[in-house]
Structure 1
Amino acid sequence: MSPRQLTVRIHGALNDFLAPERRERVFTHVLQGSPSVKDLIESLGPPHPEVDVVLVDDAPVGFAHRAKPDTRLDVYPAFQAPQVPAESRVGPPLPAMPGFVLDVGLGRLSGLLRMLGFDTLWRNDFADDQLARLSHDEARVLLTRDLGVLKRSEVEHGYYPRATDPADQLVEVVRRYGLTSRMRPFSRCMACNAKLSPATPDEVRGRVPEGVAERHTHFHQCPGCQRVFWPGTHHQRMQALVDTLRGLEPRA
């Protein structure tokens, strides 16, 4: 008997998750049983939250579609997928103002997302099941470099940052989710995620270094952790990063 095979082509950024010999090319895969295309795709490497369109013999299908031999499977990520009706995409629509939840290794990225004004949850003791549950129950984008967490069935929105530097990771996430127009810089506390409120020099006197209240007139304070923020050197570096992000071209 000939093996039960189908032809597969993984497109765009999803190639990052494939074995080197299968990247950027058509390959055959031997079917074991009759798996869903979601299970088949993840067995090859790509996590389902990064998949936007799945075609079988050029027709869009859902994740539950059963893979069959002697067919061709094409798998596309967001922004690199062919035009299909919205209801034919397996990638769910993003909320107008997305929130995020990050794993333990992305603490610095969490601060940068908060700096841009995005509701971002991070703790250094989140368990894998907590991350997946928060992502699902609160419709948050899960950012993690743990593929096992990203492949949990309850996760709908998720992304695996390729870079290891937090600033580069931020560029990836802003591009991936089209966040440039949704940024509200310096509106959240980078430490605890609470929304900041304006404060006068008199209100923060005694809570900032000596002389700062005399040199600055614009302050923000956090109602959660009581931190005070002002436009010092650190703020200027952050503003430069914001300006860079505002100049990003949309991902092709």
Structure 2
Amino acid sequence: METAIPLFIADVHLGKLASMLRMLGFDTVYSNTFSNAALVNIALEQQCVLLTRNVTIGRHQHALQTFIIIHDAPAEQLKTVLQHFHLLAHIQPFSRCMVCNGALEPVAKETVINELPEKTAQYYHQFWQCTHCRRFYWKGPHYNRMVHFIQKITGDSIR
């Protein structure tokens, strides 16, 4: 029996971890404006695992699933979460918006060319758009660095 992939919510101290989890395709709610009470309420309502550095947050909420992050380095935090929740086989890189957590969908260059920076439209041909915030993504110079980072974290090659 396969276990469900958890949904996550990250506290104010874990913005980089949230972004990296999104980069790997994991549904991760994050805002640096959430109070501890809001984090707990959202985690309970949406049945998310609360990723936190705060050992006392929600300790009286027995239905709350929390995972305490002890490492300071975001890459180590990510490795810990991936290992603890057995997520390596479930990675779907670049399927979520790293900014807002929305799903990314491929879009035809012709339909978005007028919304792209001129050099981007000139040199790149594959594009994705966030279904929520409408931000565009493409495999620019940053893409290879991100792929290398993912390979280093997972020990695996990706597409």
Q: Same fold (TM over 0.5)?
A: yes
Q: Which residue of 2 aligns with 1:240?
A: 148
Residue 207 of structure 1, CA deviation: 2.7
Residue 244 of structure 1, CA deviation: 2.3
- Identity of paired residues, percent? 35
Q: Which residue of 2 aligns with 1:106?
A: 14
Deviations 1:146-202 (A, max 9, x none): 111152323542211121122221111111111101111100100111101101222
Residue 135 of structure 1, CA deviation: 1.9
CA–CA distance in 2 between the matches of 1:226 and 1:137?
Answer: 26
Letter in 1 for 2:14: L
CA–CA distance in 2 between the matches of 1:187 and 1:214?
Answer: 24
Letter in 1 for 2:105: S
Q: Please tell me the root mean square deviation across aligned C-alpha atoms, in Å.
A: 1.9
Q: Are the aligned partners of 1:117 and 1:183 in contact in 2 as well (CA < 8 Å)?
A: yes
CA–CA distance in 2 between the matches of 1:188 and 1:142?
Answer: 19
Q: Are the aligned partners of 1:189 and 1:222 in contact in 2 as well (CA < 8 Å)?
A: yes
Q: Are the aligned partners of 1:117 and 1:185 in contact in 2 as well (CA < 8 Å)?
A: yes
Q: Which residue of 2 aligns with 1:201?
A: 109
For structure 2, list consecutive stretches of 5 or more residues without a partner in the other structure: none
Q: Are the aligned partners of 1:135 and 1:155 in contact in 2 as well (CA < 8 Å)?
A: no
Structure 1 length as normaliser, TM-score? 0.57
Give the match's secondary structure for 1:137. helix
Relative to its length, the structure with more helix (as a share) is 2
Q: Which residue of 1 aligns with 2:76?
A: 168
Structure 2 length as normaliser, TM-score? 0.88
Q: Which residue of 2 aligns with 1:220?
A: 128
Q: Which residue of 1 aligns with 2:118?
A: 210
For structure 1, list consecutive stretches of 5 or more residues without a partner in the other structure: 1-93
Q: Which residue of 2 aligns with 1:120?
A: 28
- Larger RCO (CA within 8 A; separation ≥ 6): 2
- The number of aligned residues is 155
Give the match's secondary structure for 2:131. coil
Letter in 2 for 1:147: V
Runs of 4+ aligned residues of structure 1 deviating over 6 Å after TM superposition are none
The 5-angstrom pairing of residues 128-207 of structure 1 reads 128-207=36-115
Q: Are the aligned partners of 1:174 and 1:245 in contact in 2 as well (CA < 8 Å)?
A: no
